[in-house]
Structure 1
Amino acid sequence: MSVIIRDEHKKALLTSWRAVFDGRSAKEVEVNACKKGLMLAREWERKKAILESDCLTLITSLNMDGSQKSALWYLVQEVKEIGSELAEVIFRSAKRERNRVAHELAWFGKRSCHTVMHVQ
C-alpha cells in the first residue's frame, strides 16, 4: 500500500508505503490506502484534496450517496467521513500508468515488509 501527498504543482510532499498482510481483496487494500492517505492529509494539510485511485469500483462507491451496500461499505463510509474533515475532497479515477510512483512504492512496500514514511 502506498500514499503520495502532492502540492498543487504536483511536487511530492509526503510519501508512505507499507506491506499489507491482512487484506482479503485488492479493493479492501485500496480502500485502506485511501483511508490512510486522507488521514495523513488531515494531519498534514487541511486544504482541498484530490484522492486518486486506479480502482474504478472504489471511486464509484466513494462518489455514490451510500445507498448501495457492499462488503466494504463501512470502510468506504469511514473514508468519506475522514474526507469531510478536509476543506474539500474529490474522488477521482486514475489509470495506474498515470501514477507510476505510487504503484512502484506499493511494490517496494510489499517486497520490503516494513512501513516507511518520508516527508520532503
Structure 2
Amino acid sequence: MTGEAGLGVVARDSKGNAAEEAEAIACVEGIRLATQWCRQPVIIESDCARVVAALQSKSMDKSTLSFVVTEGKELSQLLSKWRMSQVKREGNQVANELALLARRTVHSAVWLGNSPACVSYLLQNDCNNIHI
C-alpha cells in the first residue's frame, strides 16, 4: 500500500446539471468523509467557482449557500491540511463516470481502498500528485 487515497463526490440535478447548492453539499460531504478517513492533506475539487470561492473565503458567507458553507468551514478545521481547487468539469473523468454509475444504478456508495471497475482505468490519469 502506498498510503495514498482518493475521494470523489458528484452532485447534479435531475437534468445532469450541477446546481450550486448541490455542489456545495457535495463538497461538504467530501470534507466530512475526509475528516473520518484521511489523515493526510486533502484537496477538495469543484467546477463551481462560487462554491470554491465561498469555501476559501475567510469572511462570513451571506449567500443562500451560507448554511452549507459554514458547515464545510467548521468541518475543515478537523483536517490537518486542506485546500479547495477549481477544476474544469471535463478535467475530472472519475467523478463524471461515478455520477453516471449512480444514475444508472439509482444508488450511491463509498469505496474505501478500492474502486468500481468502471473507473479503475481512469484513476491513473485523473489522480496526480498535487502538493498542498
Q: Tell me which interval the TM-score lies in, with the shorter structure as reference length.
A: 0.7 to 0.9
TM-score of the superposed pair, with normalisation by structure 1? 0.76
Which structure has the highest strand share of the two?
1
Paired positions, count: 108
1:33 paired with 2:26, answer yes
Deviation digits for residues 32-90 of structure 1 (CA, Å, limit 9, x no counterpart): 11111111111111321111111111101111123341001110111111111000110
Identity, in percent, stands at: 34
Of residues 100, 104, 108 in structure 2, which corresponds to 1:107? 100
Equivalent residue number for residue 60 of structure 1:
53
Query: Displaced runs of 4+ in structure 1, greater than 6 A?
Result: 16-21
TM-score of the superposed pair, with normalisation by structure 2? 0.70
Instruction: Point out which structure has higher relative CO (alpha carbons under 8 A, 6+ apart).
Output: 1
Q: Whole-Å Cα distance in 2 between the matches of residues 112 and 19 of structure 1?
A: 15
Aligned to 2:110, the other structure's residue is in SS state strand
Equivalent residue number for residue 3 of structure 1:
none
Q: Give the alignment's Cα RMSD to 1 decimal.
A: 2.6
Shift of 1:26: 0.7
